[in-house]
A and B are shown apart, each in its own frame.
Chain A
Amino acid sequence: MEMRAVYAECLAEMMEKDRHVCVLDADLSKASGTRNLYERFPKQMFDCGVAEQDMASIAAGLASYGFKPWIESFTPFATRRICDQITISISYARQNVKIVGTDPGISAELNGGTHMSMEDVGVIRSIPGMVIFEPVDAVQLRAAMPALAAYEGPVYMRLFRKTLPDVFPADYKFDLFKADTLCEGRDLTIFVSGFLTKDALEAAGQLKAEGIDCEVVNVHTIKPIDRETVIASARKTGAVLTVENHNVIGGLHSAVLEALAQEKIPAVAIGVQDRFGEVGKMPYLREALGMRLEDIVAAAKKAVTLK
Chain B
Amino acid sequence: MSYDLKEVCKDIRCDIMTSIGHLGVGHIGGCLSVVELLGVLYFEEMHIDPANPRMPGRDRFVCSKGHAGPAVYATLANRGYFDRKELLTLNQGGTNLPSHCDMNRTTGIDMTTGSLGQGFSCAVGVALGSKMEEDGATIFTLIGDGESQEGQIWEAAMFAAAKKLDNLIGFTDYNKLQIDGTVAQVNDIAPLADKWAAFGWNVIEVENGNDVEQVSAAVKKAKTMRGSGRPTMVILNTVKGCGVQWIVDLGPGNHNTNINEEQAKAAIAEIRGE
Contact = CB atoms under 8 A, between A and B. Distances in A.
Contacts of A48: 155, 159
Contact of B156 (A58, A67, A84): A58
A53 B122 contact: no
Interface in B107-139: 110-112, 114-115, 117-130, 132-133
Given A53-B117, A89-B118, A93-B103, A58 B112 contact: no
B158 interface: yes
Most A CB atoms within 10 A — which of B111, B114, B125? B125
B103 A61 contact: no
Given A43-B132, A89-B122, A61 B111 contact: yes
A57 B156 contact: yes
Contacts of A65: 125-126, 129-130, 132-133
B111 A58 contact: no
Contacts, number: 102
Contacts of A85: 115, 118, 121, 152
Most B CB atoms within 10 A — which of A22, A64, A65, A85? A65
A148 interface: no
Contact of B114 (A60, A64, A88, A94): A88
Nearest to B66: A88
Given A65-B133, A92-B112, A93-B111, A57 B125 contact: yes
B53 interface: no
A57 B156 CA distance: 9
A233 to B, nearest CB: 37
A28 interface: no
A60 B129 CA distance: 10
B114 A61 contact: no
Interface in A68-124: 84-85, 87-89, 92-94
B103 A60 contact: no
A59 interface: yes
Interface residues of A, number: 28
A232 B196 CA distance: 60
A89 B132 contact: no
B226 to A, nearest CB: 18
Contacts of B123: 61
A89 B115 CA distance: 8
B54 to A, nearest CB: 11
B159 A64 contact: no
Nearest to B139: A61
A58 B110 CA distance: 14
A49 interface: yes
B176 to A, nearest CB: 26
Interface of A: 22, 43, 46, 48-49, 51, 53-54, 56-67, 84-85, 87-89, 92-94
A58 B131 CA distance: 13
A60 to B, nearest CB: 5
A89 B110 contact: no
Most B CB atoms within 10 A — which of A53, A54, A66, A88? A54
23 contacts: A22-B132, A53-B121, A53-B152, A54-B121, A54-B156, A58-B122, A58-B156, A60-B111, A60-B121, A60-B122, A61-B111, A62-B125, A62-B128, A65-B126, A65-B132, A66-B129, A84-B115, A85-B152, A89-B118, A89-B122, A92-B112, A93-B102, A94-B104
Nearest to B100: A88
A57 B126 contact: no
A53 B154 CA distance: 11
A61 B160 CA distance: 13
B125 A60 contact: yes
Of all A-B residue pairs in the complex, the 6 with the closest CB atoms, nearest first, are A61-B125, A65-B129, A57-B121, A93-B112, A54-B155, A58-B125
Contacts of A60: 111, 118, 121-122, 125
Interface in B143-189: 151-152, 155-156, 158-159, 163
Given A54-B156, A58-B124, 4 more contacts: A53-B155, A54-B124, A60-B118, A61-B126
Contacts of A51: 155, 158-159
Contacts of A67: 129, 132
A43 B120 CA distance: 22
Contact of B112 (A46, A49, A84, A88): A88
Contact of A61 (B117, B129, B133): B129
A49 B124 CA distance: 15
B159 A61 contact: no
A53 B151 contact: yes
